[in-house]
Amino acid sequence: MKTISTLAVAFTYVGTIVGAGFASGQEIKKYFTDYGVYGIASYCIAAVLIFLLGKKIMLMCRKNNINSYDKLISLLSGNIFGKLFDFFITIFLIGTLTTMSAGMGTILNQVFSIPIWFGNLVLMLFSIIIVKKGINEISKINIFIVPILILVTIIISGTSCDGFEVSLVKSASAVKSLFSMILYVAYNIIMSISILPALALSANEKSIKRGTMLAGIIIAFLGLLMSFALLTNYDIIQNVEIPLAVIADKYVGFYIVTFILEVFSTAVSSLYGVYTRVNKKNKMLYIISLCAYCFSLFGFSNLVTYLYGIMGVIGIFMIGILIKGDYR
């Protein structure tokens, strides 16, 4: 297998985390913007933790030749707890795939009046095609997608921050903001282990260390810029499903393309994780994709709120195990 570069590691890691929830502004709003200045401080901590935990996971996988998340969980948790975590993480990845599908349907319906069921289906079919091509193809896609995300986020958020103030959020709480940050990091770590093991075996140690650090910097920059933009426009975005689309204004066309690409990237990562879990059996790939598609009709905003919150709690236990110490 060809060794991938620092940029490939960074952009694939970012592309896995930055999906429909992030690109829509819904994720940043719920977990950080709603807490005002406390949310901004919490997000800085979150970006650092995502870098450190991602690096540790990848180095651990490389050292122990681990290529799928079930083997990583078994190493971390043992057989009994490992099987339990394995089950919940598999469900979460399928749920994330479901959420990405719902996000695609929502944006296409909102902008082009395309039926939600059709938008969901298109994402699922393209995800299956890419997943079957393997980790190198996934990395190539993210090297293309993430720079576009960075550019568009700078343009949209940067031009929406006039008159920035944090007093718009009246009920901000430091304690609640901290807990929200922990949940955010936890479910993103759960999300990332769908792709990090395979990524780790395709990169050398230097690329892993530099790549995860670069990923943390990119995530911090994008999230903070978006937070400032959302806070500035909090009165008009607090009750909408896709906040960033509301403030995109004349750049809405560029935003829609970026949103679709990021949704696709995270959907592919989620499906790839489950695909490796079932030992790359095509029949199971199709069954899982069909189930995810059916549940995606439940609605994007509801899935972001409930699914990610529940899995964030489970992710906290996984982070505790990672922080506990090094494993052989």
Closest CA to 46 of 174, 185, 175: 185
Q: What is the pLDDT of residue 328?
A: 47
In a domain, 118, yes or no: yes
Please compute the mean of the pLDDT values over residues 38-63 and round it to a whole number.
Answer: 93
In a domain, 38, yes or no: yes
In a domain, 1, yes or no: no
pLDDT band for 255, please (50, 70, 90 cuts). Answer: confident
Q: Does residue 304 have a pLDDT over 60?
A: no
Closest CA to 296 of 90, 48, 118: 118
In a domain, 17, yes or no: yes
In a domain, 102, yes or no: yes
> What is the full DSSP assignment across 150-208?
HHHHHHHHHTT-TT--STT-TT--HHHHHHHHHHHHHHHHHHHTTTHHHHHTTS-HHHH
> In terms of pLDDT, which residue wins out, 321 or 215?
215
In whole angstroms, give the CA distance from residue 191 to residue 154: 25
pLDDT band for 169, please (50, 70, 90 cuts). Answer: low
Check if the beta carbon of residue 12 is closer than 8 Å to that of residue 208.
no
Structural domain count, the chain = 1
Q: What is the pLDDT of residues 174-190, one digit of tens each?
A: 888 898 898 889 888 88
pTM attached to this predicted model:
0.85
* CATH code, 187: 1.20.1740.10
For residues 36, 178, 311, 120, the Cα torsion angle rounded to the nearest 10 degrees is 20
Q: What is the pLDDT of residue 1?
A: 52
Number of H helices and E strands in the chain, helices first, is: 15, 0
In a domain, 56, yes or no: yes
- Least confident stretch, 144-153, 161-170, 211-220, 256-265: 161-170
Q: What is the pLDDT of residues 71-83, one digit of tens each?
A: 888 888 777 777 8
Q: What is the pLDDT of residue 126?
A: 93
Range of the domain at 171: 6-324
Please give the single-letter amino acid code of residue 149. Answer: L
In whole angstroms, give the CA distance from residue 313 to residue 81: 15
Q: How far is CA 325 from the centre of its chain?
A: 25
In a domain, 29, yes or no: yes
Q: Does residue 300 have a pLDDT over 80?
A: no
- Work out the burial of residue 10: count CB atoms within 10 Å of its CB; fewer than 13 is exposed, 13-18 middle, 19 or more buried: buried
In a domain, 203, yes or no: yes
